[in-house]
Amino acid sequence: MTSTTTATSTRERRAPGTPGGRRFKPGTWTMFFLALPSIVLLLLIHGWPLIQAFRQSLHDGTLINPGQFVGLQNYIDNLNSPTFWKAAGFTVVFTVVGVFGSWIIGLGLALLLRTRIPAGGIFKVLLLLPWVVPIVVSSTAINWLVATSSSPIPMLFENLGLAPPLFLADPTWARILVCVFKVWVSFPFMMLMSSAALASVDETVYEAARMDGASSPQQLRWITLPIIARSTYISWILMTIFCVNDFPTIFLLTGGGPIDATNSLVVLAYRTVFQNQQVGLGVAVAFMMTVVLVVIATLLYRQIRKAAI
């Protein structure tokens, strides 16, 4: 009797012709067909150029001549190139500093803006300026500050009795300058992401924690960071993509120099394609960047799904 009842209830839960009892919600197919034209358009706009670019990466041609088919030789040549690995190493450093440097500053400012400070509205607008101002203007201002020995910052070092650093001529200083500049133009984005996440945190949670004797660092560690974890991972994904694909910040400041010290993978791909006319090698660099970004985004997306709501 019990088995018969169970079998009957199982049949009732299953939809006819659908395995496992899965049923589409009303309007699902309507929504699908309404979205289909946009999906097809996106595939045509992005998918076809992607296929053509991958085809180019398998040839040894130029911008005009497609060249001969060489298979994966361009990828192998890149992996055997010291220039590629030097650019990859700087890209990793540039990305790590850009992501976590801007996140730490942005989160700190977002927490500060939750408190009552004088002229808080004006303060928020001013903090957005590094992100709002065009990168050409910002890079020009930085060049004016540090480019020559008569620039303000080298003159300040000299007035303090210190040797003026060669920010754009010394490889180490050039790397530091580019990374700091990236943090400077990126922290407002992280601040906005953190502020939006913090706005959803209920103040009563902090009040209960304070009543239990939790200190501010403990509240940050055990309450704030877990609650805003999903937003944090999303911001990390976006900023990683921004940093790896950031061409203007590096190119406008140093052009990849001195002696390729600040040459990132995206700058290397540009110089290989448009300056050296080696389209296959350059596009292969871009595709390897894409694969790495997809892997990183996938790993962080899994963390988003695990994060607490």
Question: pLDDT tens-digit profile of 102-155?
Answer: 999 999 999 888 877 776 678 778 888 888 889 999 998 988 888 877 888 888
pLDDT for position 25: 66
Question: pLDDT tens-digit profile of 235-293?
Answer: 999 999 999 999 999 999 988 888 889 999 999 999 999 988 899 999 999 999 988 88
Q: Which residue has the higher pLDDT, 211 or 25?
A: 211
Q: Residue 177 pLDDT more than 50? A: yes
Please name each of the domains of the chain with its CATH number.
73-306 (1.10.3720.10)
pLDDT for position 7: 44
Q: Residue 8 pLDDT more than 90? A: no
pLDDT for position 24: 56
Q: Residue 27 pLDDT more than 80? A: no
- Under the banding of pLDDT at 50, 70 and 90, the label for residue 50 is confident
Question: pLDDT tens-digit profile of 149-158?
Answer: 788 888 888 8
- Under the banding of pLDDT at 50, 70 and 90, the label for residue 14 is very low
Question: pLDDT tens-digit profile of 228-244?
Answer: 888 898 999 999 999 99
Q: Is residue 87 within 8 Å of residue 265, measured between CB atoms?
A: yes
pTM: 0.82
pLDDT for position 147: 82
The three-state (H, E, C) secondary structure of the chain, written as one string = CHHHHHHHHHHHHCCCCCHHHCCCCCCHHHHHHHHHHHHHHHHHHHHHHHHHHHHHHCECCCCCCCCCECCCHHHHHHHCCHHHHHHHHHHHHHHHHHHHHHHHHHHHHHHHHCCCCCCHHHHHHHHHHHHHCCHHHHHHHHHHHHCCCCCHHHHHHHHCCCCCCCCCCCHHHHHHHHHHHHHHHHHHHHHHHHHHHHCCCCHHHHHHHHHCCCCHHHHHHHHHHHHCHHHHHHHHHHHHHHHHCCCHHHHHHCCCCCCCCCCCHHHHHHHHHHHCCCHHHHHHHHHHHHHHHHHHHHHHHHHHHHCCC
Q: Residue 53 pLDDT more than 70? A: yes
